[in-house]
Structure 1
Amino acid sequence: MPLWLDLLVRVVAVVAAFLVLPLVVGQAEHKVMAHMQGRLGPMYAGGFHGWAQLVADGVKFVQKEDITPRDADRRVFQLAPIVALFPYLIVLLAIPLGPGGLVAQRLDIGLFFVLAVLGVGVVAVLMSAWASANKYSLLGGLRGAAQLLGYELPLVLSAASVAMAAGTLSLSGIVEAWTPWWLLWQAPAALVFFVSGLAEIRRPPFDMPIADSELVFGYLTEYTGLRFAFFLLAEYVGIVVIAALTTVLFLGGWHGPAAEHLGWLWTLVKIFAVSFVVIWLRVTYPRLREDQLQRLCWLVLVPVALAQLVLTAAVKVAM
């Protein structure tokens, strides 16, 4: 098979697999949140336990009128949902699903690549906020920019600790270098990375940029129809991306019994387990105030990430 065709097949296969995961996570959120709150959740769409509810929601968004505010910057307003979704889809190409090169594109600097692309998310927030010509959208966008720029630092520092421990920036190389010992001595970095990842995708309790009780719906206030659905899809893809990166960097990726043949399955199981925790946190904790959110970042996560970096350097030198 020609090289270009082999690459195309791998890209299509991996992206198709990962595009299904956000829909599954979205449907799981419907049902998991319902059971945690003592209610039924979707039961009718599609028959068995409302399995087609997310599809029905998608059809509903497609049918809704697409409205652009009169005073909005039309081109920027319409482009923002695509900019919000596209970086996450690009990141999925570099995440290894299993051993033996089961990844759309194996990169020697894969960790550097995914962290750089994730940082594009703040651009979409600012685009939607500024272009909407709405004061609530602008306030939400400014909150989002402050949040994303702040939590980017502990996210990168905790990921750097893992790269230092593995001695490589390749995501596949990090998984290959992983040992169960990492679950203990890289646990602080894992916690910092996971919490910072939640803030990066603006999931509760880090959803101050939206804060419906204060800002209507923040930077999404003026969006309707399919464009609004793109932002929601970007959130679910973001959950999969953060869960996948947490799995690859800290939980051993494809490591497990019969990893040679079932490595891809172990990766997916771990991704779903981390995604379940993301949903669980949404139900459990109230939204943080802006001052609490920034205090957690600068006074807790950044010092812990720096301490973990020093510990990792000391261990590597000692070894």
Structure 2
Amino acid sequence: MVTEQMLPETLRTMIGLPDSVLGQAIAAFIAAFLVGNVMLAYTGVAGPWAKRKITAAFTDRIAVDRIGPFGLLIIVADAVRLLAKELIIPENADRPAYDLAPVVVAGSAMLGFAVIPMGGLGPLNIQLADPESGLVYVFAVASIATLGLTMAGYASSNKYSMLGALRAIAQNLAYEIPLVLTGASVVLFTQSLQMSEIVAVQQETLVTIAGFSIPSWFAFVNPFAFALFMVANLAEVGRNPFDIPEAPTEIVAGYQTEYSSVYFVLIYLGEFLHIFLGGAIIATLFLGGAAGPGPESIGFLWFTAKIWGVFLFTQWARSAVPRVRIDQLIEIGWKGMLVLSFANLLLTALLVGVIA
């Protein structure tokens, strides 16, 4: 079992806090604050700037380039613009569900990063906690976002919002089961739900070709499972061809139609946080976590590159893949992805049984 020192323990020692409940709580708060702000910074860059730049590159257009170098100050401009807008509450909104929904959407993603092993950065091991049931935990808290979308759609007193909420429920039911089943196939290989242990198993060499060692990342060991997980993740984060809950050309913006100002910012923030959380889960389960060339002290940089790579894939899908109809989405999920994920789980179990 992997027993590296977690970030809160390292910070407590560095700061000189006492080894008491209060000292551990303060260190844990500081560590969570630092990790949370890094993820928020990634989201701040991805939403207002990177998303527009990537989409423009894919569609042969010119993106933001007028505000600051490379248009980077659009991040500040958008933040000021959105937060300065008037917060308009629908007359018949069901509060406090309407008020809590944006917090639930964003908060569920932030909770997921608590158990993700993000690798080393100098002397620090960037991981807040490492429970033995880490994979179950991250799937559980990520799924809470569905509750937030349902609350937002129901409480908005808007038919388009309600349609978006119902679509979100149907979509997550259809694709979360294949997502979990595909993740379970990785657990069969590792015999552990602990996130650090899943990463550790992938550090071994799968094969050596002409002196070049290919690591036993599960993307190489089981590329079929990797492809299934990537597709299911697109549905979980609401990216094309599975952006049905928003569907701007059909239901305006779905569950978020009636949200403005800081509430809209929180929902928008939650959307991109879930994309990065999905990338973090994919990097952990299939891409060796923070593994990469060079010393372990720069592992966090490799981990960052991998989650941004997943973000790039989601934006490519958004620009290149047309949206499916709601009936097609359900059929793909229940008749396609579910069957394939069960087949993958069965074949993995047979393979592991033969090897064992």
Tell me the TM-score normalized by structure 2: 0.86
Equivalent in the alignment of 2:133: 109
- Structure 2 distance, partners of 1:314, 1:68, is 55
Query: C-alpha deviations, 1:44-75, integer Å up to 9, x for none?
Result: 22x11110212211211111110111111121
1:25 paired residue among 46, 49, 53: 46
- Decide which moves more: 288-297 or 257-266: 257-266
Larger Rg: 2
Equivalent in the alignment of 2:93: 72
- Structure 2 distance, partners of 1:210, 1:259, is 43
Deviation (angstroms), 1:102: 2.5
- Taking the TM superposition and a 5 Å limit, the aligned residue runs for 1:123-272 are 123-178=147-202, 179=204, 180-181=215-216, 182-272=218-308
SS at match of 2:108: helix
2:84 paired residue among 38, 63, 68: 63
Query: C-alpha deviations, 1:257-283, integer Å up to 9, x for none?
Result: 124222111111111111111111100
Deviation (angstroms), 1:101: 4.2
- Structure 1 distance, partners of 2:99, 2:28, is 32
- Structure 1 distance, partners of 2:30, 2:105, is 26
Query: C-alpha deviations, 1:139-163, integer Å up to 9, x for none?
Result: 1111111111111100100111111
Deviation (angstroms), 1:12: 2.6
RMSD, aligned CA: 1.5
* Percent sequence identity over aligned pairs: 36
Counterpart of 1:139, as a letter, is: L
**8 Å Cα contact 1:11/1:105 also seen in 2:** no
1:40 paired residue among 62, 76, 83: 62
Deviation (angstroms), 1:6: 3.9
- Structure 2 distance, partners of 1:78, 1:15, is 22
SS at match of 1:108: coil
- Structure 2 distance, partners of 1:53, 1:67, is 24
SS at match of 1:119: helix
Deviation (angstroms), 1:16: 2.3
- Structure 2 distance, partners of 1:259, 1:149, is 41
**8 Å Cα contact 2:219/2:225 also seen in 1:** no
Is 1:290 equivalent to 2:314 in the alignment? no
**8 Å Cα contact 2:246/2:253 also seen in 1:** yes
Equivalent in the alignment of 2:72: 51
**8 Å Cα contact 1:128/1:220 also seen in 2:** yes
- Structure 2 distance, partners of 1:191, 1:119, is 21
Aligned pairs, number: 318
- Decide which moves more: 266-275 or 7-16: 7-16
Tell me the TM-score normalized by structure 1: 0.95
